[in-house]
Amino acid sequence: MKARAVRIAMLLPLAYLAGCATPTATKPLQHGDPTIHVVNRSSTSIRYLYVVPSNTGSWGRDWLGSGVLGAGQRFRVAPPRDGTCEFDVRVVYSNEQSEERRRQNFCTVNEIAFSGAAQPAASNADFDVVNKSSQTIMNVYVAPARTGRWGADRLPGTISAGNRYKIRMPRDGQCRYDVRVVYQDRSTEEKSGQNLCAISELAFAGAPRPAATSSNPDFAVVNKSSMTIRELYVYPAPASQWGKDRMPGTLAPGARFSVKLPRDGKCQYDVRVVYSDQSSEERRGQNVCALSELAFTGSGRTTSTRRPARQRDTARDEAVERHWVKYLIEIQSQNAFPNWSDLPHNLYLRNRPK
């Protein structure tokens, strides 16, 4: 009996503590409420946080704004209560690594934690172009490193200041690329030799293009019209003639062609393109040493004034020939042309319209 009493006495404090303890159950969720907390459980600060409805296609604005989410901290995200529950979340750490959570049901969870596990990047060259300049980005071109094959514009629209756009790249094992953007004022910015498989985004801050020197007149012709450019002529201004066609082929809408010019100190050139419908467009007196590209939109084109080739009038030619024969027979009878090969009639026959 005494031993039993001792055991009961030992258990009483534990029963008291169990009765006073507060349960650690999560906060009850409200149906249709997508508000959550993003928790940084890594050892690195999070610089950017993107939250968008699933399948949006772009990441939109940075929810952190000018702030950061330090290690161990949390941030409240409150999307609009419009019935949307499924979201994609992406964080970018201060070391430029990123981590994503796709198709998360915000209406059934209180928080989403990120531990710092970097997103796999093997042979995946997809990346975001981030516009950190004060201008709109009009065009984005991507070429295998050191090839200069820029190809077509990758943007279906534009990227306004502060926004971003994801560029999808082929899964062909290629990682090293040169990336070039063209701003609203036609200035350009390039980043060469980028390993796109190792990064998730590429920021462009609007760094000015180095001033061109008089010894570098090279530039690119960009076809921003809806027609194919068949011919390209570049000649020192003022051009009294256009010289030879500079393109080995044609230039499709949206494509560009690099023009290489001699380093002879000349900068002022006249440029002319001929479209597939034979209309043409010109740019006169261009200082190509002060620009990187010249765009042709087709708005200033003029209709060709070339005369059609003269069609041979067979009946007329035969009538003229009969007249010559009759005339020459008459003068030949007078020995005016002792050598028949010298007769004007033979000259006419050798040179008559074909």
Query: What is the CATH classification number for the domain harbouring 231?
Result: 2.60.40.2890
The total of structural domains in the chain comes to 4
Whether 148 and 108 share a structural domain: no
Asked which of 87, 114, 141 is the last residue of a domain, the reply is 114
Same structural domain, 257 and 289:
yes
What's the pLDDT band for 273 if we cut at 50, 70, 90? very high
Residue 19 lies in a domain: no
Please identify, among 114, 149, 168, the residue that sits at the C-terminal boundary of a domain: 114
3-state secondary structure of 345: helix
Residues 43 and 108 in one domain: yes
Residues 292 and 232 in one domain: yes
Q: Are residues 231 and 256 in the same domain?
A: yes
Q: Are residues 224 and 163 in the same domain?
A: no
Residue 31 lies in a domain: no
Residues 199 and 137 in one domain: yes
| Same domain membership, residue 282 and residue 261 | yes
Do the domain assignments include residue 26? no
Say if 29 falls within a structural domain.
no
Mean pLDDT of the 211-223 span = 73
Using DSSP's 3-state secondary structure scheme, residue 321 falls into helix
For residues 98 and 144, membership in a common domain is answered with no
Beta strands (DSSP E) in the chain are: 36-40, 46-53, 74-77, 86-93, 98-105, 111-114, 127-131, 137-144, 164-167, 176-183, 188-195, 201-204, 219-223, 229-236, 256-259, 268-275, 280-287, 293-296
**310 domain-assigned:** no
Q: Do both 233 and 277 map to the same domain?
A: yes
Q: What is the pTM of this model?
A: 0.31
User: Mean pLDDT, to the nearest integer, of 269-294?
Assistant: 88
Q: What is the pLDDT of residues 31-63, one digit of tens each?
A: 578 999 999 999 989 989 999 998 777 778 889
Cα dihedral 19, 21, 24, 28, rounded to 10, equals 60
Are 195 and 132 found together in one domain? Answer: yes
Q: Is the dihedral of CA 258, 260, 263, 265 positive or negative?
A: negative
User: 350 pLDDT exceeds 70?
Assistant: no
Of 279-283, 296-300, 319-323, 331-335, the one with minimum mean pLDDT is 331-335
Residue 57, CB-side half-sphere exposure with 13 Å CA sphere: 1
Q: Is residue 276 part of a domain?
A: yes
Give the C-alpha separation, 329 to 343, whole Å: 10
pLDDT at 124 over 70: yes
User: Do 45 and 103 sit in the same domain of this protein?
Assistant: yes
Which of 94-98, 174-178, 253-257, 344-348 is predicted with the least confidence, judged by mean pLDDT? 344-348
Q: Which domain holds residue 343?
A: 315-351
Domain annotation covers residue 190: yes
Average pLDDT over residues 155-175: 88
Give the model's pLDDT for residue 293.
86
* Final residue belonging to a domain, choices 56, 88, 114: 114
Q: At a CB cut-off of 8 Å and minimum separation 6, what does 82 contact?
A: none
| Rounded mean pLDDT, 337-353 | 53
Whether 160 is in a domain gets the answer: yes
| Least confident segment among 13-17, 95-99, 212-216, 326-330 | 13-17
